[in-house]
Amino acid sequence: MAGPISDKAIQVETQAETPEACDGAMVNNDVEDLLVIPGLDDQESQPLAVASNSSQSLANTPLESLQPGLDAQFLLLTSLTTVAALSSNAALLHIPCEVPSIDIFNPSHASLPPTLTPTELQKTIPHPPFVDVIPFPGVRDRLLRSLAVIDLEKLTIDLTGGAFKVWGSVPWDGTSWEVSEEFAKKWWFLIDENLLRATNFWRRQRLESNILASDILLGV
């Protein structure tokens, strides 16, 4: 990419359109639109992974036609909300609206980008569906290995509470993701080198210093 991107160019954030639930009811665009939070008995507080209308159309579009063109570096970059990005990935994975809160991921089709292709742990360890839509296999595996000690409710709130930015319009491409330093320090054991590398790329475009793995581990 040719030179740093100005703050003005990268601080434009687009809000996702309000998605429509499977039963036709309108759903607010927040954490409850996408993520199932295990342990909640109230079904009204137990939302399922649903995608917006635009995300559903995305699921039927060939991946090749959705890749950015050669001149994409000259476009004004905007950031998707995390919920919108994860909803788009859920649509690509054809995650149904009605799924158990804990399940083993078994995609219905093989045409998936490498970043969303399930790992062996995803195929063997029951887990909530929000894990499957994170476009970092290493992060997914770290999360699955830590299920016994993670407060999933707190994690999902942090995950969709502004800790991530997704630059551009290809949310399944991990290189478009940026994690906040606060989230990285709090959930340091989930951060893999690919997420850290992508994050530092976007920080450098703003002439900010890199987040170092040693800083995350030390909490400084």
Quote the pLDDT of residue 64: 52
Burial class (CB in 10 A: 0-12, 13-18, 19+), 83: buried
Domain spans of the chain?
7-218
Quote the pLDDT of residue 78: 63
Non-local (6+) Cβ contacts of 197 within 8 A are none
Mean pLDDT, rounded, of the chain: 73
Residue 176 pLDDT more than 90?
A: yes
Mean pLDDT computed over 32-52: 41
Quote the pLDDT of residue 102: 78
Residue 143 pLDDT more than 60?
A: yes
Q: Nearest-5° angle of CA 122, CA 63, CA 174?
A: 55
Quote the pLDDT of residue 185: 94
Q: What is the DSSP string of 37-81?
A: -TT---GGG-------HHHHHHHTS-HHHHS--TTGGGSPP-EE-
- Dist CA 135 CA 113 (whole Å): 9
Residue 124 pLDDT more than 80?
A: yes
Quote the pLDDT of residue 6: 47
Quote the pLDDT of residue 94: 85
* 100-117 pLDDT tens trace: 677 787 776 668 899 999
- Dist CA 5 CA 75 (whole Å): 10
Quote the pLDDT of residue 51: 34
Residue 164 DSSP SS3: strand
Quote the pLDDT of residue 219: 59
On whether the pTM is more than 0.95, the answer is no
Quote the pLDDT of residue 133: 94
Mean pLDDT computed over 144-173: 93
Pick the more confident residue, 77 or 66: 77
